[in-house]
Every structure is written in structure tokens, then in C-alpha cells.
Amino acid sequence: MANLIFRLGVGSAYIKAPCPSRRFALRRLALAFALSLAAVAAAPAQTADKTVPQNAAELHLSFAPVVKKVRPAVVNVYASRVEQHARNPLFDDPIFRQFFGDQGEESRVAQSLGSGVIVDPSGLVVTNYHVIEGMTDVKVALSDRREFPAKVVLRDQHTDLAVLKIEASERFPVLEMGDSDAIEVGDIVLAIGNPFGVGQTVTQGIVSAQARTEAGINDYGFFIQTDAAINPGNSGGALVDLDGKVIGINSMIVSRSGGSVGIGFAIPVNMVKSVVYAAEHGGVVRRPWLGATLQDVTKDIADSIGLDRPAGALIANVAPDGPAAEAGLKHGDVITAIDGQDVDDAAGVGFRLGVKPLGGAATVTTLRDGKTVTASVKLIAAPETPPRDAIRIKSRSPFQGALVENVSPAVEEELSLENVDEGVVVAETAPDSLAANLGIQKGDVVLAINGAKIATTRDLEAAASQRPRLWDLEIERGGQVIRTRIGG
């Protein structure tokens, strides 16, 4: 059975089963042995040589001081929304309502459970975007069991991060943010969160790998992998080092069962810092724009251009007026490093640029015709030219409930569009809207409606206001043109 990637939301049952006593004893002994090794290596007053425990006292070393330091700043996040279901037409009849009352409107509450980290004394909390996605009511519970309402300050689907603000006028404990670039594979880490809603839980493991880009659920797929046990409900919780600093926000697992099998992923804290900065300065995330389309270097590509191994990001296309073109980067260049930090693929380039603030420049190292070339690329945001002119389509049509925008470099960057330079794109579809029910998707580029070319959002709004008997749609999705007919 294939492994599946699970966002760490709560919704499945689980079973508690006692371990055999002998196996349990062996596991405790092995854990105590690992703890003693870690403490010996970390203690500055001791020799750097790693030795086995010499006496019973060394087996009593504990992570408790670290946990006591960080746990007050790790919270539980409860999110919900009320969903209304279709009303039975019989209840529109006043005579029917006279006998049966107004019972036609049905509703249910959709809920989500996750974790979060307080990063500012004013009550700013970082969690995962998928924990609060589509939710309207959010509450935060502290480790001391106090609960507070919270408002969503920023939602960033690209990084799968969100920032909340606790609605209370007091100072809260915070978790200091570390440097995710400073960690190494093998470093001991602790994961803190609320798995399965059982309450705040601490697990221990190591950094299993860095720069994981193959298992992404966001547009900056660049994760810290850990074997610390994280489960549904840990989403948004902290991954901390032995200094008590957060180095990542736990986000997802790979599992066949939905429970932890020791393959978990956390968003590096250096990306979290950029999102928190945006939340503190207007609530809009603006990141540097390269102005180039990248693709991973495969073995075939590496062989064709004379590389000894498939690593780096190949520049497939350069926007004429973008920072890459201005810096002299060209089609066929292979980006190998950003500001001296190696990148293995296109996702690595996106991450290294995405964590940098606007302004100034980044040094991009490339291979061109077998030679190393460096270029200084300006760190500017993608322009909104033409203006996006966002419109929510309200008229009865296949696009009812869709939010559409004019394509610009900024919109192209936000929606991760490829090879789309102009036109109108669907930015989102409202849940349970006609557009969503008909399969209209985020990222669809609307080329034509009933034979009329759609060049702007105003064109689409006008076309959607018509009342034809048949809708003839032409849409580009993922580089493919789809033509479909829908009855009016």
C-alpha cells in the first residue's frame, strides 16, 4: 500500500494498546541511553568526546527544563464554521410552515483542530493555513487551559501558514525563533502540539533530513524532516531545538495509516519569520520576484549540458522586464546557489528567495557553458500590470461564486501559473457555489465564453450576465485547453 501525505488535522479514530512489558522496558532503556549521549555532547563544561553513561545518575538526565521553557507559548487552536444546507422548497409555502414551522433550513458545524505558537507578547500566533482554511470562528487555548477568541490577521496559502491575534489585552509568553539554516541532520529536536485533541504533548526525535522538496503541500516545498512523533492535531505546533528555540512549524506526515510512522515535516522557521513580518506590517505577504520560469535538473538534462550530477534549477524562460533579465541571467543557465547557499532544485530557489526581504539584491550563482557565473538580482515584488481588477461573479452562470482577476506578474506569482502572460484567471471559488459544483477551479484561465474572447475581468462579468440556453466555455488548465458545454 502506498504512503500517503496527511495534513495534520483531526478527524480519525485511534486505538490505544499497551506494549509488552519487555519491549517497553527496552524502549525506555534505549531512550535513556540516547538522552544521556545528547546531554553529554551538549554540555559545554564537559569534554567533546561522546561516552556511554557511567552511572545511574547520568540516566536521569531530562528534557524537562526545555519543555518548561517553551510549553507556555504553545497553544491549541480550535476553528469552526456553520454550513447551511439547501432549504426544502416545501417550506416556502406559508400554509406548510403554519403546520410544520420553519424547519427547512439545515445547518451543521464544520470544525478543525490544530496547534499554534505564540511569537509576539501581544498575542500573535503562528499556525498552519490548513488548520483555519475556510473557518470563520477561531479560539486559542493556552497551556494553563484559559481560552480566548482570536482573529485571523493573515492567511498565506503559498506557505501553508497563518497568523492569528489573540483578542485579549495582556502580555503572553513567547517562543523565540531560531535559525533553521543552522540546524544539522542528527540534531535532537522536540515536537510540541495537541495530537488527536488529547492535550499538549511533547515528543522527541532528531532532524532526519533537510531541504525536503518532494513532499510539499505548499508553493515553497522546503521542509525539515523529523522522526519526532507528530500526529493529526500537531499541525501548527512547534519543532524546537535543545535551546528552546522554534526551528520549524509542524505541518504534515507521510503515513499509510494516518498516524505517525516517524516521517514528519515542518516548515522552516526562516520562512515563518517572513510571514510574521508581513502580519506585523499590513498583513500582505510580498516576496521577491525572480522573473524567470525554472525547472528541476534531471539526469537527462545534466547529461545534455555536461553536469556531473542532476542538481540545481534550469532557467527555462526569462521575463523580458524582470529582475533575472536585468541581471543578465539567460535561458539555459543552471542556478546552483543563492547568496552562497546551495540549491538542489527549483523549489530550493523559491525558498531561498522567498525568505529574503524586499530591497537590496541577492547573489545568484549559475553554471553557463560549463563556467560559473554570478549575478546580482534585485529583490523586488512582482508588478501588478495590468491591475488585477478582482470581481466576484454573482450572476447566474457557470462562474457564479468565482473570484476572477486579470493576469499580471504578481497574480501569476501568487497563483503559481506557468506560461500564462495575459488573460483572466479564477483566483478562488466560493464553497458550495455553482462554479465549484461545476468543477471550475482555482488557476483556470478563461479564454472564451460562447465564442467571445475574454481579455479582462469586465469581459467575463459581462459575458456571465447573459442568459444563453447553452454555455460554451474554453478554459486553459495546467497548460491544456479544455472545451466544454453546459446547459443554461
Residues in Cβ contact with 142 at an 8 Å cutoff, skipping those fewer than 6 apart: 72, 75, 148, 172
Neighbours of 156 (CB within 10 A): 22
DSSP secondary structure letter of residue 123: T
The CB density around residue 477, as the number of other CB atoms within 10 Å, is 14
158 domain residue, yes or no: yes
Cell of 147: 481560552
Residue 238 lies in a domain: yes
306 falls in which pLDDT band (50, 70, 90)?
Answer: confident
Residue with cell 505546533: 237
Q: Is pLDDT at 42 greater than 60 in this prediction?
A: no
| Unique residue bearing C-alpha cell 506494549 | 19
Q: What is the pLDDT of residue 51?
A: 62
Residues 97 and 136 in one domain: yes
Q: Where are the beta strands (DSSP E) in 54-180?
A: 74-84, 107-120, 124-128, 137-141, 147-156, 161-166
Give per-residue pLDDT as tens, 314-341. 999 998 889 999 999 999 999 999 999 9
User: Which of the residue ranges 5-14, 51-60, 76-85, 366-375 would you say has the lowest mean pLDDT?
Assistant: 5-14
The mean per-residue pLDDT over the stretch 262-272 comes to 93
Beta bridge partners of 114: 77
More confident residue, 8 or 420: 420
pTM over 0.85: no
Inform me whether the pLDDT recorded for 236 exceeds 90.
yes
Read off the pLDDT of each residue in 68-78 and give the average, rounded to a whole number: 94
Crossing angle between the packed helical segments 346-354 and 269-280, to the nearest 10 degrees? 40
CATH number of the structural domain spanning residue 301: 2.30.42.10
* DSSP string covering 301-368: HHHHHT-SSS-SEEEEEE-TTSHHHHTT--TT-EEEEETTEE--SHHHHHHHHHTSPSSSEEEEEEEE
44, 192, 301, 315 from 334: Cα distances, Å: 43, 39, 10, 6
Active site residues: 130, 160, 235
For residue 1, is it within any domain? no
Domain end residue (candidates: 378, 412, 441) = 378
Count the alpha carbons within 13 Å of 350 in the hemisphere toward its beta carbon: 22
pLDDT value of position 414: 84
Q: Does residue 392 carry a pLDDT above 70?
A: yes
Last residue of a domain, one of 33, 62, 91: 62
Q: Are residues 271 and 338 in the same domain?
A: no
- Domain end, chosen from 246, 280, 314, is at 280
* Domain identity same for 463 and 412: yes
Same domain? For 242 and 158 the reply is no
Share of the chain above pLDDT 70, in %: 80
The mean per-residue pLDDT over the stretch 270-278 comes to 94
**CA-atom Rg of the chain in angstroms:** 26
The pLDDT tens digits for 148-170 are: 999 999 999 888 999 999 999 99
241 and 192 in one domain?
A: yes
Position 21 scores a pLDDT of: 42
In a domain, 440, yes or no: yes
Q: Report how many domains make up the chain.
A: 5
Residues 108 and 160 in one domain: yes
Q: What average pLDDT does the structure give for the chain?
A: 83
Residue 8 lies in a domain: no
Do the domain assignments include residue 385?
no
199 and 264 part of one domain: yes
The number of residues in the chain equals 488
Mean pLDDT along residues 293-310? 88
Q: What is the mean pLDDT of residues 90-116?
A: 61
Neighbouring CB atoms inside 10 A of 227's CB total 19
The answer to whether residues 399 and 466 belong to one domain is yes
Domain assignment present for residue 255? The answer is: yes
Is there a single domain that holds both residue 206 and residue 275?
Answer: yes
Does a structural domain hold residue 5?
no
Q: 396 and 440 share a domain? A: yes
pLDDT of the residue at 417: 86
Contact 77, 125 (CB under 8 A): yes
The one-letter code for the residue type at 242 is L
> Is the pLDDT score of 123 beyond 90?
yes
For the segment 16-32, the average pLDDT, to the nearest whole number, is 42
- CA 96 to each of CA 73, 90, 106, 321, 444: distance values in angstroms, whole numbers, following the listed order: 55, 7, 17, 66, 44
pLDDT for 7:
57
Parent domain of 342: 292-378
